[in-house]
Structure formats: structure tokens, C-alpha cells
Structure 1
Amino acid sequence: MKKSLIALAVLAASGAAMAQSSVTLFGVVDATYAYGSGSVSNRSQLTNSGYNSSRLGFRGVEDLGGGMTASFWLEAGVNNDNGTGGSTNTNNQATGASASGGLVFNRRSTVSLSGGFGEVRLGRDYTPQFWNLTVFDPFGTNGVGTTQTLNSSLGGPVTVRASNSIGYFLPGKLGGFYGQAQYYLGENASNAANKKDGTGLALRAGFANGPINVAVAFSDTKYLAGNIKTFNLGGQYDLGMAKVMAHYNQDRNSAATAPDGSGWLIGGLIPVGAGEIRLAYSTYKTDVAVGADPKSNKLALGYVHNLSKRTALYATYAHVSNKNGAAQALNGAVTAAGSNSNGYDLGIRHSF
């Protein structure tokens, strides 16, 4: 159960009441036994986030009156298998990568102002180009079943999140239409050769009404070594007895010597009593040279059993087949180029 602290502040001098505010503590603790096998080495481990990402978060909102609200969201990744925090990136570049250790609000760290105009959001947040990969993936880009379009992505440091971002979200109640724009900064010195590295613009637009949800996204991130452009689109249709979904993702690098990549997913969610069957087939190919393009194909099958609204048990199996020099492996295993890999997740997730 989410724990909310509701406070109504009163101005002592005038006795006038200020707007109502609330702060909520929330989180997920997800423990996973993960096994991976490959042609070079296998690996067995207790890890986390096989179903949902483990996290600890705080969010709050203040009613400013006149239909306007101010809010914040601080969310930290947690490695509950060993007690460490998650990793982050400070400038959307390789130089800004920070290893995991102490608790850091790497998942989201934003402050927002909302109203009839929509929402303006500042800080570290998901990128628009990531949303289509995770929303239209039956495994929600978590665990061994994560779509290969993400695992093999060439989208760079902003594939999932961007720091130093300025975002705008359309208001609700637009007949099912939704959208967002995000501009993120690399924050390099103006006289540096790489002054634009890590700076980019991303857009996403979609329509969700009844059983249908479709969206398209585009991003362009600047780098001295070559700009990276990502385009993707995805959709979902709820048949009642099952939800079917699919997406396509394309990464392009402007550098003549850098490879491009593309891939797609098709999958579904099938409710079964207190549980749900998850299945997906995804693929990603890197365009290195004609006739020698590495390609990885993944088949994933899983089941989630809900013990309650907050607690679930889950099991996932995945198989990756590699071709033309690809060497993608699962759950920490190592496999030779062109060889296959198998992976298993068994775990429990508790949310609060």
C-alpha cells in the first residue's frame, strides 16, 4: 500500500490556508534467480528486476490553484540482491557514465509544472524513443525476455534515459491523442570540439482509445563521432482474450564507418486466471557489410502468477540465435560469434 503524507500548511501570521500538498513513498523489490548458458561459459546468479525494475521513489504534488499543480519525482534504482544502488549518466555521453554504488536517483529526477496547457518537466527522465520499446514489449524491457531491439540497440547513452532534459507533454482529454517533446543537453564547454556531444531532440506522438494504442517516435542526438538518429513505431490491440503488440526500431549513425541497425518485435499477453502468459519474438540486425550483417533473433516465453495486487511470482525462458558474427548472450553467459544462448528467470516481485 502506498504511504501518503497529506499536509495542509497554514500561514501563522494571517491565518490564510495554502494549497494542499501530498508526498508519496513508493517502490518495487524484485528478486530473481537468473541462469544463462552459452558456448563459452554459463552463469548462475541471484539478481533483480526480472519482472519489474527494483526501485525506491518519492513523488509529491502541490495544488497551486486555478488548475495548476507543481510536482516532483525522485526515483532510485535498487540492486536488492547486493544492497547497492543503480548507475547513471550525467551528460548523455560515455564520459558521464557513473558506476553503481550508493543510492542515486538514476531512474528519474524531475520537477514539473502542469495545467491546462500540459506539463513542463525538467531533469533526468525516460526518452521519447524508449517509450515505444518498453510499452509495446510484453516483457516491459525487464529480465531475460527483454526485446532484442533494446538489447542490441545502437542508440547510444540516451537509448533509455536522458539527463539535463527539458520536456513537454500534451494535456489529457484530447480524444485519445497524446504526445511529448524532449530536448536534452550534453553541457560541454562552448569552445570544445565536442561542444554538442550528448545534446539532442526527441519527439513522440500517439493515439490510445478503446482497444487501440499506437505511437511513433523520433530522436536526433549530436556526437562529434557521428550523430545518432532513432526512429520507431509500435502498437497494441486488446482482443479481450489477449493483447497483441508489435514494434519496429531503426538506429542510424551519420559516421561513414559506423554501423546502422534495425529490428522488430511481435508478441502478446494472455490472461490465465490469476496469472498472465507473456510471449514475444524479436530480432535486430546490424548493417556492417553486405553479406556479413550480424543478426540476433530472440524467442521469449514467460508466466506471471499474481498472489495479490502487490506480490507476484514469475518464470521466463528465452533463447537467442546469432548469425553472421553476432554474439548476444543471456543472463551473463558468454557465447561465441554465431552461437546460441539460453536464459531462465525465476523470481518474486513485491511493490509498495
Structure 2
Amino acid sequence: MKKSLIALAVLAASGAAMAQSSVTLFGVVDATYAYGSGSVSNKSQLTNSGYNSSRLGFRGVEDLGGGMSASFWLEAGLNNDNGTGGVTNTNNQAATSTGGGLTFNRRSTVSLNGGFGEVRLGRDYTPQFWNLTVFDPFGTNGVGTTQTLNSSLGGPTTIRASNSIGYFLPGNLGGFYGQAQYYMGENNSNAANKKDGNGLALRAGYANGPINAAIAFSETKFLTGNIKAVNLGGQYDLGVAKIMAHYNQDKISGGNDGKGFLIGGLVPVGAGEVRLAYSTYKIDTVGADPRTNKLALGYVHNLSKRTALYATYAHLTNKNGAAQALNGAVTGVNSNSNGYDFGIRHSF
């Protein structure tokens, strides 16, 4: 009888512990047929992430009591068209990019959460990236991605940073939100590149009702010149459509500066959504100032909450010596390029 009572007590304690913690498997598989045309060559390919980034992830949270919790997030990028993993960067310096296998390159963090907010450690998105993707109708995915990201001079930490220490404000501040992040290149203190890959970034915003607006600042130190970035963006929900815009500026100490903007919108149509955007980015040089402009139009049709079909068209114009192209095509200086995405996205 005593052994039975002990066993029941152990099971009850185990059940209580399980009730206080949880682990979730999640992911996205997005396959895209992409075509790009340019004045020099065209390209046709089956690729991925034309609507949402393909990924495989694990996340979990444990209730510590007293309003506190601990959590983790491990998220790997996937190239489902060929089965390889995404590229990562170990110390925020371009020469160290690796990939091919399954790496948790998108996010790998552990956090402590409470009434004070969240302290997050590991590889994570940088504050300077959020305004570019949140206020882009295409979410910085596929051929419609804003030129303020595609042409950015922001360097390896434009999207994510490794070795970061981050802090997020609590979510009960009447719509105000904010993030601070410090990241390290992890070089020896007696080396010439001791600060290469170190950076500090801040973001603050307000989201309430139909309004969402934010501003971000960052500075990352590199041997080739420190990069300062500032951007701001906003969105207003009209009910029949969401309009959004953002501005981004990158300054390299002793080098070129770049700046650009996006204006666009999302329009619900039945079970789907129309996406449209115009974006531009110019690099200030001693001579001509290369500029690339993009007009993008897309449609997403939701077959269910987890599965969607999509199509996107984008037209790129180059001026003053620019020669960018879409979907792997090659175009000459000051020539145009067209790109098309057709795909299916399934999330789980």
C-alpha cells in the first residue's frame, strides 16, 4: 500500500512538472518556381521561401512560478528544393559564413521572462532588421523583397547577429514596445580585429489599434569601416487595406552611404490577399550614385489556415551604373530585370 502511494505521488509530481513546461515542434515548407530575366541571361529554378522562409524549429517554455518563466527557441533554415540547411555566421564577420548541414541559423536563443520583460541570449534577429520586414508587404521574402534590404550596405548583421545579449520590454505598456541588443565578434583583445563584428542596436515602437510605428538605430564595428544604420517604418490598418512604408539609411565610416524607402500595402480579397510595393535604394558614391527601383505585385490564396498558393511579379530598373537582377538572372548596367515566383507554402 505504501509503495502504491509513493508511486502515485511520483506520478502526480511528474504530471505537475509536465503541466508547467511544454515543447513545440513547428515549421514551414515553402516551394517556389522562380524565373528571372535580364539583358545578359535568364534563369529558371525550383527554389524555396517565396512567401515564407522554410524552416524547422523547436521551442519550449517552463513556468518558474512567481510570474517568471524560462524558454528556448531553436530554428533552422531549410532549402527544401535540395535538402540542404541554411547558411549561418558564427561571429558576425562575413568570412566565417558556413552552411549546408542542419544549423540553427535563423534563431538559437534561451530566455528568462518576467514582469521586467525578457532577457534573451544567443543568435537572434537584430533590431535594425525588424522595421524592414514588418513594414514590407512581402515580408522580405521572395522576388518582391524590398530593395532597402536587397541593396543594403548594412553588412553581416543586417538581419541576424550571433553571440547576442538582448532585452525586450514587457508587453503591458499600453502599446509601447522596445528592444536593445549587444552582439560580439568574439575576437582576441590583442588582435587588430578585436572589435570586428561587435555591435549595439536599439528599437522602440508603438502598436495600438490600427497604428503600428517604430524606429531603430544600430552601429556595428568592422575592419572595413563601421556601419551605422537608422530606419523607421509604420503601418495603418484601414480595414479594407493595410498601408505601410519605411525608410532606411546605412552609413559606412570612410566609405559609401546608402538610403532608400518603401511604400506599399496589403488588400484582402476573399480567401486571399493582394500585395503591392514600390521600393528604391541609392548608394552615394564619389561619381554617379547607383540606384535600383523595384515595383512588385503579388497575390496569396489561402487554401486553409496552414496552406497557401501564391504568385508574385517584380520589375527592377537600374540607373547610374547599377546592375542588379532578379531570381538569379544577369543584367547589364542601367538595364532592367523581371522576376516571377509561383509557389505553395505549408506550415505546421
Shorter-chain TM-score tier: over 0.9
Inter-partner Cα distance in structure 2 for 1:173 and 1:63: 19
Alignment of 1:187-266 (within 5 A): 187-255=186-254, 258-266=255-263
Which residue pairs with 2:309 in the alignment?
313
1:279/1:15 Cα in 2 relative to 1: closer, same or farther (>3 Å)? closer
Note the alpha carbon deviations across 1:168-203, whole angstroms, 9 max, x for none: 000011000000000000000100011000000000
Which residue pairs with 2:56 in the alignment?
56
Secondary structure (helix, strand or coil) at the match of 1:131 reads helix
Secondary structure (helix, strand or coil) at the match of 1:95 reads helix
Alignment of 1:146-225 (within 5 A): 146-225=145-224
Inter-partner Cα distance in structure 2 for 1:91 and 1:200: 11
Alignment of 1:91-110 (within 5 A): 91-98=91-98, 100-110=99-109
Inter-partner Cα distance in structure 2 for 1:81 and 1:28: 13
Inter-partner Cα distance in structure 1 for 2:72 and 2:128: 23
Shift of 1:95: 2.3
1:70/1:154 Cα in 2 relative to 1: closer, same or farther (>3 Å)? same
Matched, 1:329 2:328: no
Shift of 1:75: 0.2
Shift of 1:303: 0.2
Inter-partner Cα distance in structure 2 for 1:48 and 1:101: 15
Shift of 1:337: 1.1
Q: Give the counterpart letter for 2:31 in structure 1.
A: A
Matched, 1:288 2:279: no
Inter-partner Cα distance in structure 1 for 2:328 and 2:207: 37
Which residue pairs with 1:20 in the alignment?
20
Which residue pairs with 1:350 in the alignment?
346
Secondary structure (helix, strand or coil) at the match of 1:150 reads helix
Secondary structure (helix, strand or coil) at the match of 2:100 reads coil
- Which of the residues 302, 319, 328 maps onto 2:298? 302
Secondary structure (helix, strand or coil) at the match of 1:194 reads coil
**Which stretches of structure 1, 4 residues or more, deviate above 2 A after TM superposition?**
10-19
Inter-partner Cα distance in structure 1 for 2:264 and 2:102: 35
Q: Give the counterpart letter for 1:146 in structure 2.
A: T
Inter-partner Cα distance in structure 2 for 1:129 and 1:51: 22
Note the alpha carbon deviations across 1:110-148, whole angstroms, 9 max, x for none: 000000000000000000000000000000000000000
Inter-partner Cα distance in structure 1 for 2:308 and 2:36: 22
**By percentage of residues, which structure has more helix?**
2
Q: Give the counterpart letter for 1:268 in structure 2.
A: G
Inter-partner Cα distance in structure 1 for 2:199 and 2:29: 33
Q: Give the counterpart letter for 2:55 in structure 1.
A: R
Q: Give the counterpart letter for 1:300 in structure 2.
A: A
Inter-partner Cα distance in structure 2 for 1:330 and 1:206: 32
Q: More deviation in 19-28 or 175-184?
A: 19-28
Aligned-residue Cα RMSD (Å) equals: 1.4
Shift of 1:224: 2.2
Gaps of 5+ in 2: 1-7
Which residue pairs with 1:5 in the alignment?
none
Inter-partner Cα distance in structure 1 for 2:251 and 2:128: 13
Which residue pairs with 2:5 in the alignment?
none
Gaps of 5+ in 1: 1-9
1:220/1:12 Cα in 2 relative to 1: closer, same or farther (>3 Å)? same
Which residue pairs with 1:137 in the alignment?
136
Q: More deviation in 260-269 or 19-28?
A: 19-28
TM-score by length of 1: 0.94
Secondary structure (helix, strand or coil) at the match of 1:29 reads strand
Which residue pairs with 1:277 in the alignment?
274
Shift of 1:333: 0.3
Secondary structure (helix, strand or coil) at the match of 1:86 reads strand
Shift of 1:225: 2.0
Count of aligned residue pairs for this structure pair = 339
TM-score by length of 2: 0.95
1:154/1:177 Cα in 2 relative to 1: closer, same or farther (>3 Å)? same
